[in-house]
C-alpha cells in the first residue's frame, strides 16, 4: 500500500478509537439519533469489518471472516469489543501495507478513475 494511504488510515482509525473511548457510557454508542438510520456502534462495526475484510483478507491474506449482516444487526456490543474491532482494522492496514497486491489494487483503481474522468470530459 502506498505509505501515505496507510498513514492516513492509521491516523483516522486511531482518532476513531479516541472518539469511542470518549463516550461517557457504552449505551450512548448505541443511541439512535433522529434522521440517522444507524447508531455509531453499527457504523464502527461496519467500518472495521470492511477494512479487516478488504485490506486484511483480500489484499493481506489474513483469515478474517466478515459477517456484514451482524455489523448492522448487532446492538449493545460493549465498548471494549468495538475497540478490539478498531484494533483489528489497524492490524489489517498493516497487513495490507505489506503486500504488493494492495499497491497494484490502488494503482489499478487510480488508473480506472483517471480514465473515467477523462472520458466524462470527452478526452481520450
- Distance, first Cα to last Cα, the chain: 28
Contacts of 40 (CB under 8 A, 6+ apart): 29, 30, 31
The whole model's pTM is what?
0.77
Q: Is the CB of residue 1 less than 8 Å from the CB of residue 103?
A: yes
- pLDDT tens digits, one per residue of 10-54: 999 999 999 999 999 999 999 998 999 999 999 999 999 999 999
C-alpha span between 9 and 32 (Å, rounded): 27
CA dihedral for 102, 105, 108, 113, sign (positive or negative): negative
CA dihedral for 49, 65, 112, 14, sign (positive or negative): positive
Amino acid at each position: 500500500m502506498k505509505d501515505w494511504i496507510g498513514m492516513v488510515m492509521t491516523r483516522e482509525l486511531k482518532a476513531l478509537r479516541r472518539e469511542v473511548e470518549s463516550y461517557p457510557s457504552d449505551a450512548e454508542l448505541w443511541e439512535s439519533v433522529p434522521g440517522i438510520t444507524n447508531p455509531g456502534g453499527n457504523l464502527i462495526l461496519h467500518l472495521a469489518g470492511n477494512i479487516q475484510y478488504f485490506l486484511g483478507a483480500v489484499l493481506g491474506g489474513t483469515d478474517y471472516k466478515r459477517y456484514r449482516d451482524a455489523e448492522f444487526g448487532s446492538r449493545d456490543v460493549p465498548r471494549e469489543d468495538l475497540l478490539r474491532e478498531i484494533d483489528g482494522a489497524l492490524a489489517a492496514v498493516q497487513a495490507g501495507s505489506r503486500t504488493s497486491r494492495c499497491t497494484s489494487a490502488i494503482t489499478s483503481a487510480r488508473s480506472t478513475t483517471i480514465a473515467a474522468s477523462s472520458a466524462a470530459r470527452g478526452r481520450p
